[in-house]
Structure 1
Amino acid sequence: MNTDQPNLTGRIALVAGATRGAGRAIAVELGALGATVYVTGRTTRAKVSEVGRTTETIEETAELVTAAGGEGVAVPTDHLEVAQVRALVERIDRERGRLDVLVNDIWGGEHLVELEKKKMWETELERGLRMLELGVKSHIITSSCALPLLVRHEGGLVVEITDGTAESNKGFRENFYYDLAKNAPIRMASNVAHDLEGVGGTAVSVTPGFLRSEQMLDHFGVTEANWRDAIAKEPSFAIAESPVYVGRGIARIAADPERGRWNGRSLSSRDLAVAYGVRDADGSQPDAWGYLSRVMAGEEGVLADDYR
């Protein structure tokens, strides 16, 4: 592994779905290494998406990128609208002439997930199809539009953000539609990796662990400062990680001149943390999937502290 100080100065990144959570943190950490980051999403200071949250906007994300040391550019974009995505890519080409990093973190479907594990035929069809639009179709549209610009220069990186690795997702995830929505990005990364082999690019899928996103913190009625109070309600939250963790890992892979060794891989925030020596905001190095795999298997006496 190259041990030089990581630097993304002069590199252009697009983080699609950077309003909040992992997307926001990834954008900020890319900026902290000097990248210019175009951040997109549907929630702006003037308009709220179907997610219904007004507390995070793409303008704020862009400001955080700039404050971290990069240049943040907010572009309101619905990634299910092909014309909007094409216009976004054309703008990046016009203003920068290149694209080095594409992060597909588009989702916004938490409100569609059935907490009770309904059968496929019991799930409202429109709800299920909307999940697939948000988690799969939007990624396909974005990659189709952005890859011609990304492959113009050798060494481009595509990151598909999802929930779970190829290994952890061998079992059933939540329900029929959620399972498809979160397994598809793993295959998309693998397939794009195949197509990038001949042009010097790299594609990977990356999952955070139990993410302390703004939305998740609100769900448990806690803040980042007192997040551990939620463990009483949900014991597995003891392994939760902040969005900074996956953000730092992805920034490091983006800055790694030898990142081609990862091509086609399904990775976790923990995998990147170990490979690049990064840590979460609190100095820990959580292994959420290692912990959760044992908990979900019904093992008793598994301690989260042993996986931090």
Structure 2
Amino acid sequence: MSIESTASAAASGSAATDRFRQSGKTSTVHASQERVNLLASKLVNAVNDIVLEERVTYDEYNAFKAWLIKVGEDGEWPLFLDVWVEHSVEDVATSHRHGNKGSIEGPYYIPEAPEQKSPAKISMRPDEKGTPLLFQGQVRSTDGSPLPNAKIELWHADEEGYYSQFAPGIPEWNLRGSFIADAQGNFHIDTMQPAPYQIPTDGACGQLIAAAGWHAWRPAHLHLKVSAPGHELLTAQLYFPGDPHNEDDIATAVKPELMLDIKPAESGTGVQTTYDFVLDPAS
């Protein structure tokens, strides 16, 4: 049975929810009562303003209530929030930076991927489909100095748009890895070019997309976390020119400075790209 026929929103959502619970990010925020009051009041008031301005009926209200319940039952709150809300949170969190622009983490990050020293090849199936991609560059600080032994965590979808650990039949660490740059901050990673994909559409998020007449597509992208001692962690997604959904990404996460420059590989096989990372010193 193919992956496409067995992957489901419920299974993917459940995995994303479990991973979030295990991530440690669910710890209580130490916010003042005034801050909680401000944010909660604004959220509730915004919802009520929509109800009054758009004359929401009881039928619409009950349909909305039923949909919210279904989001929880399907385990799709991580997907919903990461697709439609996280990009604004990320903009706020990184607005002070002078180095590289970041992007959303998304729901499919798995920590502690197998570590290798660069140059290296990411873990993949012997018959992995797609176009070979050489991803290389340098990690530097904002003052231009190279950051030796910087860590580059890389993960992405396969040619069919599926992530390991979130779809059946894929090896655990397929197309996931952590790579240690050399003494000059240089890295060289052999992987495969990912495909565009639709977020799961057979669950609550798909129900919203269909009802609103939206599309569910994300453009092809690489996920990265880049870190070095004494510097802020950079989380980013990098995109491929020419993708039809760069302009209307369902997650609103594409930025011009995150676009890759893809060229034929010097080896004669596949393609390659060079992308440097500049990290801000930790305050």
TM-score by length of 2: 0.28
The structure, 1 or 2, with the larger RCO (C-alpha pairs under 8 Å, 6+ apart) is 2
Larger radius of gyration: 2
Q: Please state which structure has a larger fraction of its residues in strand.
A: 2
Q: Please state which structure has a larger fraction of its residues in helix.
A: 1
